[in-house]
Structure 1
Amino acid sequence: MQNDIVHPSRGLGRMRIAVVGAGIGGLATAIGLQKCGHSVSVHEQAAALTEVGAGIVLAPNSQRLLAGAFGIVVSGTVRPSALHLRRWQDGSTISRQLLGAEASARFRADYVTLHRADLIDALAAGVQPGTLHLAQRTIAVRQDDDGVEVDFENGESLRADLVVAADGNRSLVAAAVGVPTVPRASGYAAYRGLASPDLIEELGDDHTAWLGPDRHFVHYPVSGGRFLNFVAIVPSPRDEPESWSSAGDIGDARAHFADWDPRVRRILACTDSVGLWGLYDRPVHDVLHAGRTVLVGDAAHPVLPFFAQGASMALEDAAVLSSLLGRATPENLADRLAAYSAARVPRVRKVQQVSYRNATMFHLADGPEQQARDARLGTPGAGDPLRDNDWLYGYDARDEAAVALARNS
């Protein structure tokens, strides 16, 4: 078996950087670092970047980064008319906050829904030719004062000035450099699927969440309106896998919502297959780097999907990290990585906390607490997702990076 040392092409880059994982965070980080002139390679264990996953949301805080920071345009995005919260049993409106032009004007970017595969395709097309290396499963990482060496299952190795761990919630890279990566179960799992676009005409193009006792149901159009994406959150005491490609039982999914509004049941009746994804996160560490290894996305801070910010946090990570490393050299690398951790940890902790809060708020049993929640969310000026989330949607990761650079200079 070969055990050659394979270096990323030096090109004109100031540092050799290897990214492990070709998901949203890994690819976006690679694009940002290449724009800074670094020599970057991306190493993905899968043999192909297939259409894995389902719908995701990009709120204005991440949507503005795609074109602004990374120069990426994604096909098939949909701009929902509103964020619509409904009652589980009869579909009555709890609150409906207009998005569209209002959100775009307020936050200088759109609130969009899309298929994860469309975003991955666009990001993969955005890295330089020869950057992406598939079928390279990482099996070992060793670092010293001068660099990091990564070994792959196929017998190849590489040495780089910096390794970016973008390999998910159970990151092998993070574990190898001493960062604990033991996920904590939320007690919930998500059935994910795609239904007929015919339902969009009936249900509208809102990003809709139906709230009910101990579970909720979300749907919105993706792929330019060719599919209605749905996510059904249910209690799960079992250790469900986290994989985007894990299959679920459509009969079980339907049973969980058998007494819900007929429109929810109709969505589940219009599909024959669903994925089943266990929902896990873990507390955010005080620092997101160790030596010459830095963590992004789920490898750094997995977030429960009850706030629709997982992909957005990965894109923010990529923007902040690539900005901070724009003029970095091996000599000042440690300071720049410390600045990245200082910038990102408070924000991702807050997002994680809100996600946990929603896990409780969305799933209240019918009764006084639920009635108080509905009244609060339905009162004009209260529970306004745009006003309440100014801190979230109005945030620009590039501004955060500029402040961190100023402190670091």
Structure 2
Amino acid sequence: MMKPSRSLLLAAALLPAIGLSTTASAETVEADIGSEYESFNLVRVADGISHGWAVGFLPDGRVLVTERAGALYLIENGNKTELDGLPSIAVQGQGGLLDVVPHPDYDDNGWIYFTYSKGDSDSTVPALARARIDGDSLVDMEELFESNTPTSPGRHYGSRIVFLEDGTLLMTIGDRGAEPPRAQDPMDHSGSIVRLTTDGDVPDNNPFVDSEEHAPEIFSYGHRNIQGMIVHPDSLQVWVTEHGPRGGDELNLIEAGGNYGWPTVTLGRDYRTEDDFPDAEARRMDGMVDPVFEFLPTLAPSGLAVVNGDAFPAWEGNLLAGGLRAQRILRLTIEDNHVVHAEELLHGKVGRIRDVRQAPDGHIYVLSDESDGALYRMEPAD
């Protein structure tokens, strides 16, 4: 579970109408860190990031970083500039400014997409918007989508975004924590992955688009709180990492129309008693998709990357799953859609890990979720 960044809810414009620029020189934190197949250096790219949430890469080498409390930074050549122009963001508990991903055709259209919690002190929804960068500001802001069920603020927003090869996008939405069985309601966006066009519309080939008993945006449901999601560059499969309750953290392979069981089916336990989860009926059930892998001990997963390219050739095709409570990355070797090997990386070296992403140059970026957090880079040792 994430540590709350503030107890206040900021429902007004959160960022000042100026760009705040600071210098953050890259610094090698530890050199030649050994692992089973690769050695790497850990470099601090930027610090002064409080409860960072997501990393995104622009084609020109600049890096975007979000803070949950409502700041969006543009990092370039050691300079960290805060961009203004964000919409009003409801910051409370786990809610705030969340994921950020540039459009795959950013060079042509200039769009960046981001998720955030929208609302007031009584209720919030996860929302998706896009904007363009003009100097130190966001312009051409468009809200594209919001969840259909306002809920008391503070918990389980999900909010990872990926773009698919067909030009659509997926966005994860947590069960919101208030009433877990809502994740089994196919009319409720809570506890689902939604699939949208890049304009926020419903694709005409969504799995439930012709059903009167399902919200048409839903791509899969029965999820608790997905905070890691990637599209594998070779297989084009969608992999996610998902928070369980006490135990039951999952790696899932997403199927269109799939019901992933939460909370009717879970491998986790009740937080307080460690008994069976109160709403659970079984650990597995026909008609519900089993996880590919359960993270034991608890990982509290957030941030997921797939390794591709020449920087770390021995890790080609491996998944890197970040952990909050576990303060580590697990490198997972996948064969025939099964985890056949796992290795622990960076245990305790950067604190709680909120995001793990591979940059276009092949280096691995790691964002910590700490009040005095930082952005780090894993690069091959000489």
Bin of the TM-score, shorter chain as denominator length: under 0.3
Q: Which has the larger radius of gyration?
A: 1
Higher strand share: 2
Normalising by structure 1, report the TM-score.
0.25
Normalising by structure 2, report the TM-score.
0.26
Q: Which has the higher contact order (CA 8 A, sep 6+)?
A: 1
